[in-house]
Structure formats: C-alpha cells, structure tokens
C-alpha cells in the first residue's frame, strides 16, 4: 500500500509540531542541572533562531528512520531536535554581515538584525553547544555508547571536514580569498560538506538509535547520501528560479556573488536529470525495506520538488 502525498505532508507537519514543542522545552529560561543561570537576552535570541519556522526536515528524517526500524522512543525526537539546533546555529552564523550578510530568514529578520552581531555570534555558539548537550544526555538514550556515538558522528558531520569546512569553501568560492577554479568535483565536495553531511547524519542517527547494523545500516546510509546530494542540487535550481517572496529569504545569491553552481556547469536540464537519478538512487537504497520505507521515498521527492 502506497501512502499518498497528503499523508506524507500530514506526517511532516506532525513531526514539525512535536519538534516545536520539544524545542520550546529545551529553550526555556530556566537553568538546568550544571548551569548557573540563563541570560534572558540570549534565550530570546535562541528562541528567535530556533522556534516558529522551518520544515524541520532533519528531525523528520531521524524520527522516520527510527520508526521504520520499529524504534518509536522519544530519543529520536530529541536527537532530531539536536540536529535542528545545530542547523539553526549554522544559519545564524552564516547570515552574519561578515559571512553571507542576510537580513531575512524564513520571512523574518535574521538574528543579528533582530538583536545585534554579538548576540547572534553567542546565540549560534550556544545552539551548537546545546545540540551536543542534548545528544550526551541520558534522556536521549539509556545506553551511553549510543550517546557517545551520536556525538562523535554529529561532530564529524558538522566540523572541519563537514558543515563548517564546507562553509569555508563556500566563502572561498566567492573569490574573496583569491581566484578559485570551480570544477564539478570541487562543487560536489563543497556541497557534500556544507549540507550533505548533516542530512546524512539525520538519517544515520535514526539508524544508530534503532541499533541498525550491517546492510540495514549501509542501505539507510546510502539513502541519506543520495537525499543530501539531491537536496543541494534542488537548492541550486531553486536559488536560480524562485522569488524571494516565496523563499522567505534572498534568492539569486549565487549568481550575484559570481559563485558557480552545478546548474551553471551542467545546465538546468542536466541538473534536473541528476536530481531524478538521485531520487532513483535513494529509492533503490531503501528498496529492501519494502512498503515500510514509502515515507522515505516520499521524503526524497519532497526534497527535490519543494518550492522553498
């Protein structure tokens, strides 16, 4: 039995609502064990950065992969929230004037616009810390080996050789540190680091929580890789085509900054074909799970067909 797209959207919204509730709890003013006090300006900035927006695609992937494997524990939701906070930290820092210099995010002022640069830097820093704190907390999983594994994987996906390293390459791709030759291999590596690694983590985290091993783990991991790659090409296509009004953020940025994207190198038609191939790759990776994986097949289609 195939689920319909509308039941996919219903499930996406349901997880997004659960994520919002969980994040509200995590971002309260009240200090926790091991903390002295939480400064209210900082907490306001964190809530501005993390609440009330976004499709919550990363937590959705973690929750749905865990569910597919029969793991319906709250740990997947907490882990998904940790990834979401990490994602939000990267947005807050990337939006800063010295980075991508964006005033608008999800249709609202960016954190440094709503507050100030110093508060935005600290808010991003604290969001990153909180992501690791959540993963290491026994409430996420009773087994410390699982928690330590999640911390290690998220750190590798988001650090020097992952998200942050990818953002460094992305700034360099604008030519601000000297001329760079943009070839396909370089752009693909940049994208795999900047966005792919965290999306792949979101999928793997669900598998880790559900104690998946061997081919089961490898298949889900391959699904995450394909989805991550599809996401970024779709992003390049959207950046070229969509209006700022629909996106809730500035578009056409890459062209303005003279940054080459895969759309430039491949052409729009071939970029779309590559998206389609990646969707097939994702499908075949989860084929062994049968009908149970229908929601993951819907997810990768959602990623390439979304309009924001």
Q: Which of residues 150 and 271 has its CB atom nearest to a copy of itself in the complex?
A: 150
In 3D space, the residue among 51, 48, 46 whose CA is nearest the CA of residue 123 turns out to be 46
CA gap 171, 94 in Å, rounded: 10
- Which residue do the tokens 């599809």 mark? 230
CB half-sphere exposure, 15, CA atoms < 13 A = 30
Which are the contacts of 271, defined by CB distance < 8 A and separation ≥ 6?
233, 236, 237, 262, 263
- Residues 64-93 binding a copy of itself (CB under 8 A) are 89, 93
By the rule CB under 8 A, 31 interacts with a copy of itself: yes
Of 51, 96, 180, 265, the one binding a copy of itself (CB under 8 A) is: 96
Q: Which positions ≥6 away from 79 have C-beta within 8 Å?
A: 59, 62, 134, 135, 140, 150, 205, 206, 209
Q: Does 222 bind a copy of itself (CB under 8 A)?
A: no
Q: Is 144 a binder of a copy of itself (CB under 8 A)?
A: yes
> Which residues contact residue 225 at a Cβ distance below 8 angstroms, ignoring those fewer than 6 apart?
196, 200
Shortest distance (Å) from residue 246 CB to a copy of itself: 28
Query: Is residue 24 within the footprint of a copy of itself (CB under 8 A)?
Result: no
Phi, psi of 28, rounded to the nearest 5 degrees: -75, 160
Nearest-angstrom CA–CA distance, 55 and 146: 27
- The CA-CA-CA angle for residues 26, 160, 62, to 5°, reads 40
* Size of the residue set binding a copy of itself (CB under 8 A): 66
Closest CB to a copy of itself among residues 24, 143: 143
Q: Quick check: 161 binds a copy of itself (CB under 8 A)?
A: yes
Query: Nearest distance from residue 161's CB to a copy of itself, in Å?
Result: 2
**Among 103, 125, 264, 274, which residue interacts with a copy of itself (rule: CB under 8 A)?**
125
Largest CA distance in the chain: 56
Cβ closest to a copy of itself, residue 23 vs residue 293:
23
Q: Any contact of residue 34 with a copy of itself (CB under 8 A)?
A: yes
Task: Please give the angle made by the CA atoms of 27, 30 and 36, to the nearest 5 degrees.
Answer: 110
Would you say 52 or 159 has its CB closer to a copy of itself? 159
Instruction: State the nearest-atom distance from the C-beta of 227 to a copy of itself, in Å.
Output: 16
Give the interface with a copy of itself as residue ranges (CB under 8 A): 31-39, 41-43, 46, 89, 93, 96, 98-99, 116-119, 121-122, 124-126, 128-130, 132-133, 135-138, 143-145, 147-149, 151-153, 155-162, 164-165, 167-169, 171-172, 176-177, 189, 192-193, 197
């Amino acid at each position: 039995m195939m689920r319909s797209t509308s039941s996919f959207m219903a499930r996406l919204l349901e997880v997004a609502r659960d994520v919002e509730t969980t994040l509200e709890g995590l971002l309260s003013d009240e200090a926790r064990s091991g903390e002295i006090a939480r400064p209210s300006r900082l907490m306001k900035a964190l809530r501005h950065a993390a609440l009330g927006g976004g499709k919550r695609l990363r937590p959705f992937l973690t929750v749905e992969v865990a569910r597919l494997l029969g793991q319906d524990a709250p740990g997947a939701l907490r882990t998904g929230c940790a990834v979401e906070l990490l994602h939000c930290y990267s947005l807050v820092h990337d939006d800063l004037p010295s980075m991508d210099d964006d005033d608008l995010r999800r249709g609202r002022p960016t954190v440094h616009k709503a507050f100030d640069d110093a508060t935005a830097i600290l808010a991003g820093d604290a969001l990153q810390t909180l992501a690791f704190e959540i993963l290491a907390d026994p409430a996420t999983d009773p087994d410390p080996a699982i928690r330590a594994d999640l911390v290690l994987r998220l750190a590798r996906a988001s650090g020097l050789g992952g998200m942050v390293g990818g953002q460094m390459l992305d700034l360099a791709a604008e030519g601000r540190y000297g001329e760079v030759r943009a070839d396909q291999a370089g752009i693909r590596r940049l994208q795999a680091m900047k966005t792919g690694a965290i999306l792949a983590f979101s999928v793997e985290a669900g598998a880790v929580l559900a104690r998946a091993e061997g081919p089961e783990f490898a298949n889900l991991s391959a699904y995450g890789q394909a989805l991550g790659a599809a996401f970024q090409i779709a992003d390049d296509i959207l950046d070229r085509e969509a209006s700022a009004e629909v996106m809730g953020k500035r578009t056409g940025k890459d062209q303005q900054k003279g940054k080459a994207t895969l759309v430039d190198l491949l052409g729009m038609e071939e970029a779309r074909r590559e998206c389609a191939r990646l969707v097939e790759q994702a499908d075949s990776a989860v084929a062994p799970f049968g009908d149970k994986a229908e929601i993951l097949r819907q997810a990768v289609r959602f990623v390439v067909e979304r309009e924001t």
